[in-house]
């Protein structure tokens, strides 16, 4: 019953986001063709507006907008007349997803590793070193770290390509720039949780009974300490996907984020609304799956709501 309610809530959330996106776009003064008003004949402008349903009343536009979302037909792009929003998403999202997923793997793997090492060496050299790395990662935003990586690693030392997209080498620098901040947050999160778990009575009892440190940490420590980190994966996933907007622009990566930024400058409403709803749907679906994963990670958690 709880899963069904969460599933219905997921669709309600997507509808609210889609509606708010539509309202915000309509509240912006003017339209995408305002700059062409003095260049093109009036009849041509009217035909163009009719093509994108901009000549219809706003309630009619809203109904057509929802109909297109339901049928997965997001319409043509205003700036790229030969391409539809679906084409732009299908072309750009695989690139952004590759970049984002690689950054997530880096952030989770090294973040968990740093957090565990720091917790097991609490108030020692490795703990201090890990936390210094974490503080640096949190303090330096990705749009500052990215140019620094380009300047030193790519330009000065010549170890990796400067920008563009092609081989696996092109993904390393943008992935590091994207993963640095969430890696630091995961490390601090895991460290504090791990320290708390290791001081629990049942952990001390298991240690007193002669359970090896490896089994104690892996079987009991990490499993109990990682649950709060799972809660962070949803926002982390969203942050890395939306964070690719700036990184893709800096590294000239042909991902969906780059198209989205360009659409904002060009006032390409169909692309802005389509990409916003698309990314929001991914985020909502991710949060739904994370809720379900709680039960898998910790069987003691029951997926039920009050009154069920």
For residue 18, pLDDT beyond 90: yes
pLDDT band, residue 307 (cuts 50/70/90) = very low
In the chain, how long is the greatest CA-to-CA distance?
87
What domains lie within the chain, and their CATH numbers?
Answer: 1-71 (no CATH), 91-297 (1.10.3720.10)
pLDDT over threshold 50, residue 308:
no
C-alpha distances (whole Å) from 290 to each of 218, 228, 229, 237, 284 are: 21, 11, 11, 11, 10
Distance (Å, whole) CA 134 – CA 129: 9
Strand, helix or coil at 84? Answer: strand
CB atoms within 10 A of CB 300: 7
Q: Per residue in 129-159, pLDDT tens? A: 999 999 999 899 888 999 999 999 999 998 9
pLDDT tens-place string over residues 263-281? 888 888 889 899 989 988 8
- Position 155 scores a pLDDT of 92
Query: CA–CA separation, 73 vs 36, rounded Å?
Result: 27
The string of pLDDT tens digits covering residues 86-123 is: 999 998 888 888 888 899 999 999 999 999 999 989 89
Q: What is the pTM of this model?
A: 0.79
What is the rounded average pLDDT of the residues 302-307? 52
Return the exposure string of 25-53: e unless at least 16 CB atoms fall within 10 Å of the residue's CB, then b: beeeeebbbeeeeeeeeeeebeebeeebe
């Amino acid at each position: 019953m709880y899963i069904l309610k969460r599933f219905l809530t997921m669709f309600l959330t997507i509808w609210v986001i889609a509606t708010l996106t539509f309202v915000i776009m309509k509240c912006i003064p003017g339209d995408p063709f305002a700059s062409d008003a003095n260049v093109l004949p009036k009849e041509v402008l009217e035909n163009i507006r009719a093509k994108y349903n901009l000549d219809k009343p706003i309630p009619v536009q809203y109904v057509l907008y929802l109909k297109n979302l339901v049928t997965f037909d997001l319409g043509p792009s205003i700036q790229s007349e030969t391409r539809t929003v679906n084409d732009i998403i299908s072309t750009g999202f695989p690139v952004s997803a590759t970049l984002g997923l690689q950054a997530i793997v880096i952030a989770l793997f090294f973040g968990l590793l740093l957090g565990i090492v720091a917790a097991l060496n609490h108030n020692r050299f490795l703990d201090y070193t890990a936390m210094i790395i974490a503080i640096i990662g949190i303090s330096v935003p990705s749009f500052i770290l990215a140019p620094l990586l380009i300047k030193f690693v790519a330009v000065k030392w010549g170890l990796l390509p400067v920008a563009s997209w092609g081989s696996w080498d092109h993904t390393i620098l943008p992935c590091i720039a994207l993963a640095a901040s969430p890696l630091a947050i995961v490390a601090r999160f895991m460290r504090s949780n791990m320290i708390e778990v290791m001081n629990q009575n049942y952990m001390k009892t298991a240690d007193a009974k002669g359970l090896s440190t490896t089994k104690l940490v892996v079987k009991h420590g990490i499993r109990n300490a990682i649950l709060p980190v799972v809660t962070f994966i949803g926002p982390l996933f969203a942050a890395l996907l939306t964070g690719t907007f700036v990184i893709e622009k800096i590294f000239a990566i042909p991902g969906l984020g780059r198209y989205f930024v360009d659409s904002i400058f060009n006032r390409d409403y169909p692309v802005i609304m389509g990409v916003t709803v698309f990314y929001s749907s991914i985020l909502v679906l991710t949060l739904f799956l994370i809720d379900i994963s709680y039960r898998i990670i910790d069987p003691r958690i029951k997926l039920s709501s009050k009154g069920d």
